[in-house]
């Protein structure tokens, strides 16, 4: 059975993911909740902080009041979920550009923190 699952690519991501930490609002069937986008690709996002959603639920993710992406819950475990976009984001899509910028900010902060740690350790 395990070989069958792997052969169907259930456990493999199809697109490269970028790490982010973006607060967003998620709307599903008239209810809104605050979530965090923790990574993204052109085809979807991984969310943290979800409540009461199930596989197949249609959702709208409000990255900002003007940037809204629509998708469907692909999987959910406890407070985490994967959302597959209804249509993949293109390289020039404003939502993609926003998330990419947030990923760059996060990577810069990580790089600065690591450089600071290395400097502190070198000084001891």
Map out the domains of the chain as residue ranges.
13-122
Q: What is the mean pLDDT of residues 92-96?
A: 97
**CATH says 13-122 is which class?**
mainly beta
In the structure encoding, which two tokens stand for residue 70, read together?
């629509």
Continuous segment of H or E residues that includes residue 18: strand 18-28
* pLDDT cut 70: percent of the chain above it: 87
β-bridge pairing 58-62 and 18-28: antiparallel
CB–CB of 61/83 below 8 Å?
yes
CA 93 to chain centre: 16
Whole-prediction pTM: 0.81
pLDDT at 33 over 70: yes
CB–CB of 30/38 below 8 Å?
no
| 25 vs 6, more confident | 25
């Amino acid at each position: 059975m395990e070989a069958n699952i792997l052969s169907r690519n259930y456990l493999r991501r199809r697109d490269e993911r970028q790490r982010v930490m973006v607060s967003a609002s998620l709307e599903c069937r008239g209810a809104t909740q605050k979530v965090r986008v923790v990574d993204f690709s052109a085809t979807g996002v991984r969310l943290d902080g979800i409540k009461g959603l199930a596989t197949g639920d249609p959702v709208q993710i409000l990255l900002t009041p003007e940037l809204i992406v629509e998708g469907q819950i692909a999987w959910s475990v406890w407070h985490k979920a994967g959302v597959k976009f209804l249509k993949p984001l293109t390289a020039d899509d404003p939502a993609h550009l926003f998330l990419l910028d947030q990923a760059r900010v996060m990577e810069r902060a990580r790089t600065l923190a690591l450089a600071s740690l290395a400097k502190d350790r070198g000084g001891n």
